[in-house]
A and B are shown apart, each in its own frame.
Chain A
Amino acid sequence: MTVTTEPALRTRRPPEPAARTRRRSLRPTLVGWSFILPNFLGFALLTLVPMVFGLALSFMDWSPWGDPEWVGFENFERMLRNSTFWIALWNTTYYAAGHIPLTMAVSLGLALLLNRTLAGLGFFRTAFFLPYVTSLVAVAVVWNMLFNPTSGPVNQFLQFAGVTDPPGWTSSTAWAMPAVIVASVWRDMGYYMVLFLAGLQTIPTELYEAARVDGANAWQRFRNITLPGLRPTTFFVLIMCTVASFKVFDLIVVMTDGGPGRATKVLSQLIYEEGIREGRFGLASAISLVLFLLVAGFTVIQFLLQRRQEDR
């Protein structure tokens, strides 16, 4: 039984004689790279190169029908003077701040609920996954209907519960973003539920049994077994959810198209409009660079935090 092995059994080989060390340290490197190469090569050629070029464009003035021309920071200056950029930056951050914790909590909850034997388990899991594959148009229309200020059930319920002046939701500048966040949590919960479900399978059931025998209640089991066991998965979900939240595009376009006005306009939309619609690739790349740094920064911090946690 491997359950009760001593903690922190890390791989430590005994020190080697100097002459062989150099040759030995080359082999793991080669082997390691041989695993990475197939994926990396395809990725580097077809995605990494365009990405780097795309981001380098932020320092140039370029349209595909002309030659690129170095302009230094001009695109960034233009971006900073654009009022829509600041609005989009705020909206994107607002959206992410709402979407990330809610989605993670809900999807983890769903995964826990659906990680046991249950009649119709397959059906339930599929049902909660369905929002993710439902046509976006359907999602947008139905949620907008639910949130309709006068005839929608949400406000009717609120009025019934005593709220005198219910919010205008997607027709109002103040409440459009919360409405979009709710719809997007609903949509994404199935996706991350799948990831959490996979992660939950790595936790041996014996641990739970042992804990139950020792008298730990559900919350204690969750806190001391589930959460730590899920750490690699949680890290993954957190990163993916963060990146996806900052890059959100489709749902916003279909649900509110950045409106009313610019109340829900996000950075990806701005990038699309400036780059692909207007042909101002330099400016679009500058905005992309900002978005990228924002998200990459967050990702790196999370990665370093997680690595420190593991080394403890």
Chain B
Amino acid sequence: MKRYPSALAAIAAASAVALAGCSSPASETADPSAPVTLTVSAWNLDKTPEFNALFEAFEAAHPNVTIQPVEILADDYPEKVATMLAGGDTTDVLTMKNVIDYARYANRGQLLDLTDFVAELPTDKIAGLEPFDIDGKYAAVPYRQDFWVLYYNKALFDAAGLPHPDHLTWAQYGELAKKLTSGTTPDGQQVYGTYHHIWRSVVQAIAAAQTGGDQLSGDYGFMKDQYSLALDLQNAGAALDFGTAKTQKVNYRSMFETGQTAMMPMGTWYIAGIKAAIEGGTSSVQWGMAPMPQISAGGETATFGSPTAFAVNENAKNVEMAKEFIRFATGEEGAKVLAGIGVVPAYSSDAVTAAFTALPGDELSKTTFTENKKVVLEMPVSEVTSDIDTILNEEHELIMAGQKSIDDGIRDAGERVKNEVL
């Protein structure tokens, strides 16, 4: 009984404080060199070096600014940010982990309109800006633009006497994969020709990017060839089967870094990861980068990718400084900082390419990075994106685990999307 009054007193005291403190509106200091604390949302600071790199560089250029990161776990980042914003959070700069989340926040009016701001930026040099255009308005600017490439293990290719995978077609890719499935790693683990991670984008997004198919349409026949290839490789044993990969949570990094796979389609964010693994001594893989295989030879390389962006909170306290930060991070200075640690910035220029020292020295890797390519957004943005994503994912699993034929899976996906979403 004694605890009860003290608990009640604590609640009363806390609510009094809360009520008293939440009335002052956001105000800008007129003096541009007055000390400012800028809050920026970020995930896993220790494991994601790009944030600290950008923060330190910005603070060096603006000595009166201290950046206070709001660290959120990457795993549940969107849910946490949604909850925070629902509660009226005032973090100045919000990092948009992907375009889908961006669309949600923008449509709810939680992000500051940046259209005029964007008009002043060198937008011709910034890749991946279009997805952030919602009805002619922008509320975020990308600072990094990842796209998908084909990683390969040079040592395994050389040992098999095969030429490096330079601008392959899918047919050539399939043959190579089967030839390269032989032997074991020094630890006695089987070596596969290629590894397809369990994400549906590995099959669906590349098919959409290369055939022009629309993942939101409800007509998914364009995915059939890609599925045929993937299943063929799986059944021939040239790629680890989906069921095992998914249920045992196989990690794509493990597969590549331990030399268990000769090839692997994956995003450019992995560059920083390989670099860290080799420098840290946990891997000795001799890796190279090549463009994603195409449907037919000779044309422009088409692949898919995803931008990561910064936005300004509608309830931000330091709007001007937030915009200044974004200008820095998405411009040449920020891009050079990112390139230096192996992250692919959205801003491109020669200076930036020169700073990108994480790539292996060979010509093929360089060409992959610098050549003109068509980068399609991994998944188009709309109100129904999330629901369609769920349905496509479920059918993807069933097809790859052999529980449904490709035709049935594609047909069911289309029907479900048309009936339940569209």
Q: Do chains A and B touch in the complex (CB under 8 A)?
A: yes
**What is the interface of chain A, defined by CB distance below 8 A to chain B?**
34, 37-38, 41-42, 63-65, 82-83, 137, 140-141, 144-145, 147-151, 168, 170-173, 255-256, 258-262, 273, 276-279
Q: What 3 A-B pairs come out closest when comparing CB atoms?
A: A171-B243, A64-B86, A144-B247
B108 touches A65 (CB 8 A): yes
Within 8 A of A (CB), among B220-251: 242-244, 246-249
- CB-CB under 8 A from A260, the residues of chain B are 243, 397-398, 401, 403
- CB-CB under 8 A from A151, the residues of chain B are 244
26 A–B pairs (Cβ distance < 8 Å), ordered by A: A34-B1, A38-B3, A41-B4, A63-B86, A64-B87, A65-B108, A83-B420, A140-B249, A141-B248, A144-B247, A145-B247, A148-B244, A150-B244, A151-B244, A168-B401, A171-B244, A171-B247, A258-B394, A259-B397, A260-B403, A261-B404, A276-B79, A276-B82, A277-B79, A279-B82, A279-B104
Determine the main DSSP class of A at the interface with B.
loop
A65 touches B85 (CB 8 A): yes
- CB-CB under 8 A from B398, the residues of chain A are 173, 260-261
B394 touches A261 (CB 8 A): yes
A42 touches B7 (CB 8 A): yes
B109 contacts chain A at the CB level, 8 A cutoff = yes
- CB-CB under 8 A from B401, the residues of chain A are 168, 171-172, 259-260
Which of B4, B246, B390, B403 contacts A172 (CB under 8 A)? B403
Bound-state CA distance A22–B417 (Å) is: 67
- CB-CB under 8 A from A170, the residues of chain B are 243, 247
B386 touches A277 (CB 8 A): yes
Q: Which residue of chain B lies nearest to A137 when distances are taken between CB atoms in the complex? A: B249
B395 contacts chain A at the CB level, 8 A cutoff = yes
Bound-state CA distance A147–B114 (Å) is: 52
Min CB distance, B85 to chain A, in Å?
Answer: 7
**What is the interface of chain B, defined by CB distance below 8 A to chain A?**
1, 3-4, 7, 78-79, 82, 85-87, 104, 108-110, 242-244, 246-249, 386-387, 390, 394-395, 397-398, 401-404, 416, 420
Min CB distance, B7 to chain A, in Å?
Answer: 7
A261 touches B397 (CB 8 A): yes
A262 touches B108 (CB 8 A): no
Bound-state CA distance A259–B245 (Å) is: 13
B386 touches A278 (CB 8 A): yes
Bound-state CA distance A303–B243 (Å) is: 43
Bound-state CA distance A34–B102 (Å) is: 51
Q: 16 additional contacts, CB 8 Å, given A63-B108, A149-B243, A172-B403?
A: A34-B1, A65-B86, A65-B109, A65-B110, A82-B420, A83-B416, A145-B247, A148-B248, A171-B401, A171-B402, A173-B398, A259-B246, A259-B397, A260-B403, A261-B403, A276-B82
- CB-CB under 8 A from B243, the residues of chain A are 148-149, 168, 170-171, 260
Bound-state CA distance A307–B1 (Å) is: 30
Q: Which residue of chain B lies nearest to A256 when distances are taken between CB atoms in the complex? A: B247
- CB-CB under 8 A from B242, the residues of chain A are 171
Min CB distance, A91 to chain B, in Å?
Answer: 13
Min CB distance, B418 to chain A, in Å?
Answer: 13
Bound-state CA distance A194–B246 (Å) is: 34
- CB-CB under 8 A from A42, the residues of chain B are 7
Bound-state CA distance A173–B395 (Å) is: 12
Min CB distance, A256 to chain B, in Å?
Answer: 7
Bound-state CA distance A182–B72 (Å) is: 35
B387 touches A278 (CB 8 A): yes
Q: Which residue of chain B lies nearest to A148 when distances are taken between CB atoms in the complex? A: B244
Q: Which residue of chain B lies nearest to A66 when distances are taken between CB atoms in the complex? A: B108
- CB-CB under 8 A from A259, the residues of chain B are 246, 394, 397, 401
- CB-CB under 8 A from B402, the residues of chain A are 171
Bound-state CA distance A256–B79 (Å) is: 21
Bound-state CA distance A290–B416 (Å) is: 24
Q: Which residue of chain B lies nearest to A179 when distances are taken between CB atoms in the complex? A: B247
Bound-state CA distance A170–B242 (Å) is: 12
- CB-CB under 8 A from B249, the residues of chain A are 137, 140-141, 144
Min CB distance, B5 to chain A, in Å?
Answer: 10
Bound-state CA distance A6–B4 (Å) is: 42
Bound-state CA distance A128–B253 (Å) is: 34
Bound-state CA distance A42–B404 (Å) is: 51
Bound-state CA distance A108–B248 (Å) is: 31
- CB-CB under 8 A from B7, the residues of chain A are 42
Bound-state CA distance A144–B85 (Å) is: 38
Bound-state CA distance A192–B247 (Å) is: 27
Bound-state CA distance A245–B86 (Å) is: 31
- CB-CB under 8 A from B78, the residues of chain A are 277
- CB-CB under 8 A from B244, the residues of chain A are 148, 150-151, 171
